[in-house]
Amino acid sequence: MRLSHVSNLAFSDVEAESLILTLDLHGIAASSGAACNSGSVQLSHVLVAMGLSPERVQSSVRFSLGRGTTTDAIDYVLETLPPIAARIRRAGDARLADSGKAV
């Protein structure tokens, strides 16, 4: 989903909460689900109503841009985000392998 100032992106095989916590450690603010579900532990009813699978909803992260957002800040997110998502994905694969489930 995308508005002119908000993007909701899903990262396959990455739990949104893990991604948000790690982004925060890098100074990047993001949220999971829809804005009207802020603070909720339930799946976003908005994303579910849009037809997203529960897995996709759980991997969705919302980024908002404002008047003060700079191109340097956007570039920082674009440089920082992919390796973080890849690291979380690899950690999830390792947990599955340790549990004896197929990866």
> Residues with catalytic annotation?
36
Inter-residue contact 30 to 20 (CB < 8 Å): yes
Strands 31-32 and 6-10: unpaired
Identify the burial level of 1 via C-beta atoms within 10 angstroms of its C-beta, where 0-12 means exposed, 13-18 middle and 19 or more buried: middle
